């Protein structure tokens, strides 16, 4: 088991290396001299040369890559052109809102989608099934910002239940934190619910014909236990997989949702960095999000063994 985890961890290294090469080349391929950008409009040629020297931009490109990679591994993401801070500080200060939003979204999505998917599978072919599946297709199709603005319009403007936009740090009071978090998390969870509910329905339907389901029913097990204990547990592997793969959707959604709800998180930072052409920050955010995405899917692979002891490595 631990050997397996170690092997998988090592196997992700080349993937992350390719991501790093890509992200590095992205900065180098951009028109414009990073040293000139950092120096600002009033710098003279000597100052620019000094900055270029300091950043190691005189070295051959392969050397530059390894210097950059070495800095990354030591947690040095460079300096933001636009925010005039180190990128590491910048990212750290934006971490909490994004983390809170993501955790809340995944929690809502799993709690809603799994029962919905099981229900749709149980009532296969009925109106309930069709409604759940219709909702699922709709969830894929309505863009997250349209959902966001519709919810703001209904719950914040018309009903006045929650604040329109903004974010409150968890340290400044849990009630206000939750109140401002609920609408963005529900918004973001819609597409995730659609994805997970669909997969849950398919994989539960797959196992419903198995012998152990018939056996469970024959021994008089109540239907709800048959569904959630016997069927769902055996259908768990594809569901967990899709939750892991869905992180990519979630990350994309975070960028949009944070912009709609004015949440000062990493997603908002990404957009601000692109608008300001702040390449070190863009690089750092992409690397970080990709790393998290790869890591979560690694965890998902490992989690299979918990759901299905038949899978051994």
Binding site for other proteins (CB under 8 A): 14-19, 21-23, 26, 29-30, 137-138, 140-146, 149-150, 152-153, 157, 164, 198-199, 202, 242, 247-249, 251-252, 255-256, 259, 270-271, 273-275, 277, 279, 282, 285-286, 289-290, 293-294
Length in residues, the chain: 313
Nearer to other proteins, 157 or 222 (CB): 157
Instruction: Give Cβ neighbours of residue 192 (< 8 Å, ≥ 6 apart).
Output: 105, 106, 109, 113, 246, 249, 250, 253
Euclidean distance between CA atoms 94 and 242, whole angstroms:
27
Closest approach of Cβ 56 to other proteins, in Å? Answer: 22
Angstrom CA distances, 188 to 95, 169, 184, stand at 17, 19, 6
Nearer to other proteins, 166 or 173 (CB): 166
Closest approach of Cβ 152 to other proteins, in Å? Answer: 7
Residue with tokens 């890509």: 22
Closest approach of Cβ 99 to other proteins, in Å? Answer: 16
Nearer to other proteins, 157 or 224 (CB): 157
Burial class (CB in 10 A: 0-12, 13-18, 19+), 298: middle
Nearer to other proteins, 63 or 150 (CB): 150
Nearer to other proteins, 293 or 307 (CB): 293
Closest approach of Cβ 97 to other proteins, in Å? Answer: 17
């Amino acid at each position: 088991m631990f050997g397996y985890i170690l092997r998988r961890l090592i196997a992700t290294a080349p993937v992350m290396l390719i991501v790093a090469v890509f992200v590095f080349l992205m900065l180098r391929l951009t028109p414009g001299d990073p040293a000139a950008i950092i120096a600002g409009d009033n710098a003279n040629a000597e100052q620019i040369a000094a900055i270029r020297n300091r950043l190691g931009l005189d070295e051959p490109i392969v050397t530059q890559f390894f210097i950059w990679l070495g800095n990354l591994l030591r947690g040095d993401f460079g300096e933001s052109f636009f925010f005039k801070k180190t990128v590491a500080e910048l990212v750290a200060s934006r971490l909490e809102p994004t983390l809170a939003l993501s955790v809340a979204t995944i929690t809502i999505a799993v709690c809603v989608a799994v029962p919905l998917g099981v229900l749709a599978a149980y009532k296969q072919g009925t109106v309930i099934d069709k409604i759940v599946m219709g909702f699922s297709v709709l969830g894929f199709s309505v863009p997250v910002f349209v959902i966001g603005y519709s919810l703001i319009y209904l719950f914040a403007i018309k009903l006045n239940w929650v604040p329109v936009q903004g974010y409150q740090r968890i340290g400044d009071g849990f009630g206000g934190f939750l109140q401002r978090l609920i609408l963005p998390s529900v918004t973001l969870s819609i597409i995730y619910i659609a994805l997970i509910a669909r997969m849950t329905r398919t994989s539960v339907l797959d196992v419903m014909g198995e012998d152990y389901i018939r056996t469970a029913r024959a021994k008089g097990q109540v239907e709800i236990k048959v569904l959630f204990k016997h069927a769902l547990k055996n259908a768990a592997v594809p569901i967990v997989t899709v939750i892991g793969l869905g992180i990519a959707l979630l990350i994309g959604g975070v960028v949009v949702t944070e912009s709609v709800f004015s949440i000062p998180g990493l997603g908002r930072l990404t957009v601000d960095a692109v608008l300001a052409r702040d390449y070190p920050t863009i690089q750092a955010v992409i690397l970080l999000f990709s790393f998290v995405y790869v890591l979560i899917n690694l965890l998902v692979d490992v989690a299979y063994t918990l759901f299905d002891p038949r899978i051994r490595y």
